[in-house]
Chains A and B, each alone.
Chain A
């Protein structure tokens, strides 16, 4: 069993931490939200009042210990309070993806048999009312935004603030009960249930105890010296474990400020206004940002552009060393300072990253040059490796030991071992309790000793002791000739090219590898504009011969680099095609966290797949697509199939 110290009993539940913060950091900002043109702010003391009012309101609605409370909305203080309030009364918050279509949401609400739901607005309410009949357990629904709700039947509907009001009014009546439940909380109580959008099959409900979350929060906070003076921007889906760790667990543990953007569209702008000191974003965010930076600079004047790139070059050269405290010549230091004044400083500032003290990226591999770009500007951007079942943290990079191709060393109190078939296992205080109503897959993932299988294949570097992830363990397959097949590894290399948004490589049990490619509309579209290549649609652009040429070049580069590695030699891509549509979560081709669903894609596009292997040079396909509003339509296209040059073995032997 793990030999990890228990938590201080005064701080072993979220409500207790809230109370601690309200007394210790009473006047420090706890939550901010950009609304009505300014940043509405709540101190920890005010936040406590709001939460308790809501908790009392919950009691008034008859919420029981252990009840499940579904939470569906974009990141807003009200929902964080709702989770805290639920924990206050001993209920279990279950955040769900608010952009999920009605059926998906229905599945989750039904599976956890939620009695209550706290949602954002009319849109969400309608979504729930649509599927109400399949949800016999659902008793009460709370909504935050009153707009358009006047005409609804309010027997089971309540406005968020009116529930709070009721709670305040009946304080005397319910306060004792609330105190009782507050005291009754133990570290082993479930503090949240998170549904993983598993890469395959139905989502699973991961049950987390207060101990899991808080111990992890404690360790990670100490690891990066987070304090109440830090602030973060909460913009990632609330249903994702990351947001819960950062915006709930770490926030409550350290007492730092959680800032909620006005809307998804204004995120960039709000990021700039807030300038968080602690920031997490998936690689695609940093990729997108870099692309937009370069595109915006295209329109700059000649001199300015030259200066910009000149200093970026310099930063690339000495920036990372400066960051890791390695020795740098005085001249370079000086030049870097000038660059900092002319370029890096203002650039980071306009992007809103200049105050960032610790930054993390994770979820998938990040392009080395992208990673280096940000670090060279002086941002302490690091990688971590984790998953929902571990409360995120498995391994992470300590300051000064940051590299693009590893995911760092095991986090505090985390044990990691590699099985003989190369799969990564871990055991930690963050390890989840179980999958809700799903003992068998719990058993599959977590053994009696508490070791959890990540399902990823990887290995520790001998010299540095850092973990390197190759691919999903089950995706690491064998090709017909028995050589190793690691699609993810190749796909990532491909995705490092700005022109390539997604790539899916096939080849398990076959003689050679082939690939589907998704172009990045922003990058390629911009390129097309500058070379005045006209195109009417995504489809047309994707099919444009010149685009295909570029993609082919990229593939051949990758083939070359893959060929370097004896083990992965077979993974060179021989034939490829560029998809006529973007892979999309709404069509089930990606997970909500935008991971590729290999199987589903394989089935959906088997026409194309056969085309890739029967040697034909073009193939016709018709696909069903789902629009934002849920309507379905279908698009058809004839896609060209190209061959990409591959390295021959003998060259390698000769070398």
Chain B
């Protein structure tokens, strides 16, 4: 209905391969960017930043990361929490070891460290497949959490066993610590999210992405047409872990400020991210955003309704959250295995063909 595509045609492959080949979509995309960068920063307050925007942006990164591994390369991982922890602790160590190091660099380095760890735990993926691997990644989850718990060096021998982010400044604005302004940290995270999403898009539409998808869809055939399975899988693990590491880094340094590995990066986190990917849509970057948005907003809404409106006890709301999320996962897997992204795609097709049904 909204689409006007007559007279929209491509005269070069470069144009044909654009991310948003339809002008209408492109416009929508740029509008979103303008709002995100130009409008929200002036409206955002503490509550919005902390309750919704920051978690959304940060988990979006994590979701994209896991989606690259699971959605594009077909390797299921339940170790996201552990890898986020790596990102967080790497950040902590770097921040404390090199106080003058620029925060952006710190976070990127943390990502690289995580990528390295990810590759280590990705090595078995050559031998073991499907959910054997999924289970194997749990090993990473438990081992890493235990590691950061037991080895005091990681939390600089602090009595509490916690890690807490010291104040750091980027371009004259505090991005970590107590006095960081919501607008600032929002923009700080936004930049990472947008940049990484863009990179993810580039990777997935390029040869690298096709290798991943080939492995996902049929690994044997992939190898026979010339994909080196080890390299493909490891690169997926590396990139994915990098994203998740960055997410962990931001979560700890910018969002939480202080963290205890057990409850901040436990197995629940792994599931949270996995759910984002499933509900959002496997193999779709847009889906990662949708999933993150859903899993962040949904509990907030539920809380507002049940606790805020109905005045129920918080634990009841929490239980309902579990029930509904669990149910949703099952429903999505049954009804629409490709999640919100697929629903969006279908809706879009309908609009494009309007008034015709098909």
Name the contact of A274 in the complex, choosing from B3, B9, B358 (C-beta under 8 A). Answer: B9
Interface centre among B10, B13, B354 (most CB of A within 10 A): B354
Residues of chain A with a CB closer than 8 A to B4's CB: 345-346, 349, 354
Contact partner of A273 among B1, B8, B12, CB < 8 A? B8
| Tally of contact residues, A, Cβ under 8 A | 31
How far apart are the CA atoms of A40 and B9 in the complex, in Å? 11
In the complex, residue of chain A having the shortest beta-carbon distance to the beta carbon of B8: A273
Highest count of chain B CB atoms <10 Å: which of A272, A297, A349: A349
Q: Which residues of A contact B8 (CB under 8 A)?
A: 273, 275
CA A352 – CA B9 in complex, angstroms? 12
Closest beta carbon of chain A to B18's beta carbon, Å? 12
Nearest Cβ on chain A to B8's Cβ, whole angstroms: 7
Contact A343 B355, beta carbon cutoff 8 Å: yes
Could you say which of A195-203, A241-249, A298-306, A640-648 contacts chain B? Answer: A298-306
* Docked CA distance A67–B5 (Å): 45
- A residues in contact with B16, CB < 8 Å: 37-38
**A314 shortest CB reach to chain B, Å:** 15
Q: How far is the CA of A238 from the CA of B85 in the complex (A)?
A: 70
Interchain CB contact (< 8 A) of A297 among B3, B9, B15, B355: B355
Q: Are B355 and A349 in contact (CB under 8 A)?
A: no
Q: Are B12 and A300 in contact (CB under 8 A)?
A: no
> In the complex, which residues of chain A have a beta carbon less than 8 angstroms from the beta carbon of B1?
342, 346
- Residues from chain A with a CB closer than 8 A to the CB of B11 are 32, 38-41
Q: Which chain A residue shows the least CB distance to B354? A: A346
> B232 → chain A, closest Cβ, in Å?
27
CB atoms of A349 and B6 under 8 A apart: yes
A622 to chain B, nearest CB (A): 42
B356 at the interface (CB under 8 A from A): yes
Question: Is B357 an interface position by the 8 A CB rule?
Answer: yes
Chain A residues 34-78 with CB under 8 Å of chain B are 37-41
A346–B5 CA distance with the chains assembled, in angstroms: 9
Contact with A along B1-44 (1 / 0, CB 8 A): 10111111111110110000000000000000000000000000
A293 surroundings in chain B (CB, below 8 A): 356
Q: Are A299 and B357 in contact (CB under 8 A)?
A: yes
Cβ of A286 within 8 Å of any chain B Cβ, yes or no, is: no
| Residue among B6, B9, B352, B357 making CB contact with A300, cutoff 8 Å | B357
Say yes or no: A299 contacts B5, CB within 8 Å. no
B353 within 8 A of A: yes
A271 nearest CB neighbor, chain B only: B6
Instruction: Render A580-606 as a binary contact track against B, CB cut-off 8 A, 1 for contact.
Output: 000000000000000000000000000
Chain A residues near B6 (CB-CB < 8 A): 272-275, 348-355
Count of chain A to chain B residue pairs whose CB atoms are closer than 8 Å in the complex: 72
- A39 to B3 CA separation, bound complex (whole angstroms): 21
The yes or no answer to A296 lying at the interface (CB within 8 A) is: yes
Mask for A470-483, Cβ within 8 A of B = 1, else 0?
Answer: 00000000000000
A349 cross-chain contacts in B, Cβ below 8 A: 3-6
B354: chain A residues within 8 A (beta carbon): 346, 350
Q: Which residues of chain A are near B357, meaning CB under 8 Å? A: 296-297, 299-301, 304
Any chain B CB within 8 A of the CB of A174?
Answer: no
CB of A347 within 8 A of chain B? yes
0/1 interface trace, chain A 282-314, chain B, CB 8 Å (1 if under): 000000000001001101110010001000000
Restricting to A311-367, which residues have a CB under 8 Å from any CB of B? 342-343, 345-355
A274 and B4 CA atoms in complex are apart in Å by 12
Closest A residue to B351 using CB positions: A346
Among B6, B8, B352, B358, the one with the most A-chain Cβ atoms within 10 Å of its Cβ is B6
Residue of chain B at shortest CB distance from A356: B6
Enumerate chain B residues within 8 angstroms of A275, measured Cβ to Cβ: 6-8
Contact A296 B7 (CB under 8 A): no
- Please, which residues of chain A bring their CB within 8 A of the CB of B9? 39, 273-274
Residues in B with CB closer than 8 Å to A300 are 355-357
> A residues within 8 A CB of B356?
293, 296-297, 300, 350
A39 touches B10 (CB 8 A): yes
Is A38's CB under 8 angstroms from B10's CB? Answer: yes
Given the complex, which residues of B lie within 8 Å of A351, measured CB to CB? Answer: 6
Chain B residues lying within 8 Å of A345, measured Cβ to Cβ, are: 4
CB neighbours of A40 from chain B (8 A): 11
Query: Are B355 and A304 touching (Cβ within 8 A)?
Result: yes
User: How far does the alpha carbon of A37 sit from the alpha carbon of B6 in the complex, in Å?
Assistant: 17
The docked-state distance in angstroms from the alpha carbon of A37 to that of B7 is 16
A308 and B3 form a contact (CB under 8 A): no
Taking the closest CB of chain A, its distance from the CB of B45, in whole angstroms, is 37
Interface string of A18-35 (1 = CB under 8 A from B): 000000000000001000
Chain A residues near B358: list those with CB within 8 A: 296, 299
Q: Which residues of the partner chain A approach B10 to less than 8 Å between Cβ atoms?
A: 38-39
Chain A positions within 8 Å of B12 at CB level = 38
Closest to B15 in A: A38
Interface string of B327-358 (1 = CB under 8 A from A): 00000000000000000000000001111111
Cα distance, A352 to B8, chains bound together (Å): 10
A625 to B7, CA, bound (A): 41
The CA-CA distance from A311 to B12 in the complex, in Å, is 39
Which residue of the partner chain B has the closest CB to A272? B6
A355 to B9, CA, bound (A): 13
How far apart sit A325 and B43, CA to CA, in the bound complex (Å)? 49
Please report which residues of chain A, range 352-395, place their CB below 8 angstroms from some CB of chain B when the two chains form the complex.
352-355
Across-interface contacts of A39 in B (CB, < 8 A): 9-11
- Minimum CB–CB distance for A521 against chain B, Å: 21
Residues of A near B352 (CB, < 8 A) are: 350
In the bound assembly, the distance between CA atoms of A343 and B354 in angstroms comes to 8
Q: Is the CB of B355 within 8 A of A346?
A: yes
Q: Provide the bound-state CA to CA distance between A300 and B8, in Å.
A: 26
B153 CB to nearest A CB, Å:
57
Interface centre among A273, A308, A346, A348 (most CB of B within 10 A): A346
Closest partner residue, chain B, to A277 (CB atom): B7
User: B3, B7, B355: which contacts A355 (Cβ < 8 A)?
Assistant: B7
CB B131 to nearest CB in A, in angstroms, measures 39
A79→B12 CA distance, assembly (Å): 23
A407 to B180, CA, bound (A): 77
- Given A38-B12, A38-B16, does the pair A274, B7 have CB atoms closer than 8 Å? yes
Q: How far is the CA of A109 from the CA of B236 in the complex (A)?
A: 63
Q: What CA separation (Å) do A342 and B352 show in the bound complex?
A: 12
Q: A32-B11, A38-B10, A38-B11 are in contact. Are A272 and B355 (CB under 8 A)?
A: no
* A347, B355: Cα distance in complex, Å: 6
Report the minimal beta-carbon distance from A243 to chain B, rounded to whole angstroms.
21
Distance between Cα atoms of A297 and B353 in the complex (Å): 11
A487 to B15, CA, bound (A): 54
- Complex contacts, B7 vs chain A, CB 8 Å: 273-275, 354-355
Bound-state Cα–Cα, A273 to B356, Å: 17
- In whole angstroms, how far apart are the Cα atoms of A39 and B352 in the complex? 21
- Cβ-closest chain A residue relative to B6: A275
Q: Which residues of B contact A304 (CB under 8 A)?
A: 355, 357
What's the Cα separation between A350 and B4 when bound, in Å? 8
Chain B residues in 8 Å Cβ range of A354 = 4, 6-7
Q: With the chains together, A32 CA to B9 CA distance in Å? A: 11
In the assembled complex, the Cα of A348 lies from the Cα of B11 at a distance in Å of 23
B13 to chain A, nearest CB (A): 6
CB distance from A308 to the nearest CB of B (A): 5
A273 to B10, CA, bound (A): 9
Interface residues of A in 526-565 (CB under 8 A from B): none
Alpha-carbon gap, A32 to B7, bound state (A)? 13
B residues less than 8 Å from A348 (CB atoms)? 6
The residues of A with any CB-CB pair to B shorter than 8 Å are 32, 37-41, 272-275, 293, 296-297, 299-301, 304, 308, 342-343, 345-355
9 A-B pairs with C-beta separation under 8 A: A32-B11, A38-B15, A39-B9, A297-B357, A300-B355, A300-B356, A342-B1, A346-B1, A350-B355
Residues of B whose CB lies within 8 Å of any CB of A are 1, 3-13, 15-16, 352-358
A-B complex: 4 closest residue pairs judged by Cβ atoms: A275-B7, A275-B6, A273-B9, A300-B357
Contacts A342-B355, A345-B4 supplied; 8 other A-B pairs, CB < 8 Å: A39-B9, A293-B356, A299-B358, A308-B355, A347-B355, A350-B353, A350-B354, A355-B7
